[in-house]
Amino acid sequence: MPIRRAKRGAEMPRPKLQDGTWGGFTQTTLPNGRIVLTARYRRTDGSESKTTAQGRSRSEATRKLLGKLPELVAAAGPGKGQPERAAARTFRDLALEWIDHDRLRMEQGEIAPSTRHEHERIARNILIPRLGDELVDQITTREISVTYHQMVREWPAQARNAKGVLSLIMTYAAQMGFVERNLVREVPAMRRKKKEIFAPGIDELRVFRAAVVAYNEDSARPGPMPGPLLLDTVDMILATGLRIGEVLGLRWEKDVVLDAQSPYVVVNGAIKEKGGAKRWEPFPKSEAGLRQIALPEYAVALLLRRLVDNAAGSEFVFHTRTLRPNGQQDVHRALRNVRQHAGLPKDYVPHALRKSVGTVVAKTIGLEPTAVLLGHERSRVTEQFYAKRTREAPDVRHIVQAVHDSISAARRWQAEGA
């Protein structure tokens, strides 16, 4: 019987793979010139799947593929009724999909708009330029570690946040079935260099506050004479230890109680500016930020004066001439002018005043209550970043004297017994 030959162009049947083996590689070239190789493989338990590897050349992609296939064929396949992993995609596509997911979380009230904006900024400007063309399931722990260390060198102030956003994206990838697990968690964060806490003392605060007053009263300075807004903002931070956004977010009707036996303010939100126009958001920095703070007498007097002067009826305690809330950048800009006017170093910022409050209160009543005052979830944060550690050791003279007296008495007793 004559042998029939396959017609030209007809597909030959795909050979069946043996357990623990893989087939030939199929090549695809991306628009950026990178090579993607795809291989079908059969695990030792008989289940089959596909995997890919990407490289700048076919040899590089082949090396990556051959490096992972032995481990894949030895791994167990999905259990009965469980789907195979979703088809691979580039990090760029995944990150853009995650940005939409993050936006949905914001719309459902899980995260603040400013937080979502910062997530998107980091994803688009830092992570996608570095990892965008990589296939998600080909990103290794080593590649994540190298990328993170590069970010530490280039953007030391943002590297930790960028690593956090990358972890969120890869957690989403694992949930969607694009990767087995989030490898970012296996890369330890580099310990940040500990900076000396700048918390101005009493004398320094006196000089700083006098500089604010002198700047306001300088008639030779160009521009309109300012009102008490900046000085009142500074004094309120010193009275409460609030963050600058929390001070500026105080509202007369909902956050300030002056007719109680012990007047107080409630922190329900803050003024935010990232990701849009200046606005009030009901999101303190953390859940621990929702707190009630009793007011000292001078802060009560300050608020009563501002209430009397609020003839136009602004909703916010610290508002501009247009009755809009004062913004964080407005305060920073004004304090920059004060520092230049008085020749003060740039360390005198609102957060330094908050640290001064934390240092004094921690020294007086301890770290735990200070953490509650400052809105920290853990007192470790208060100690590490806010409460300036004193170099003066506690006075324990009476304790060590008692030890000495006990030792001396024992020696006398032994001598008399001999």
The reported pLDDT for the residue numbered 76 is: 61
Q: Using pLDDT thresholds of 50, 70 and 90, give the confidence band for residue 284.
A: low
pLDDT in tens, 355-366: 888 888 888 888
Q: Given a cut of 50, is residue 43 above it in pLDDT?
A: yes
Q: Using pLDDT thresholds of 50, 70 and 90, give the confidence band for residue 71.
A: confident
pLDDT in tens, 238-272: 888 888 999 999 999 999 999 888 899 988 888 88
The reported pLDDT for the residue numbered 138 is: 82
Report the DSSP pairing between strands 264-267 and 270-272. unpaired
For the segment 153-178, the average pLDDT, to the nearest whole number, is: 88
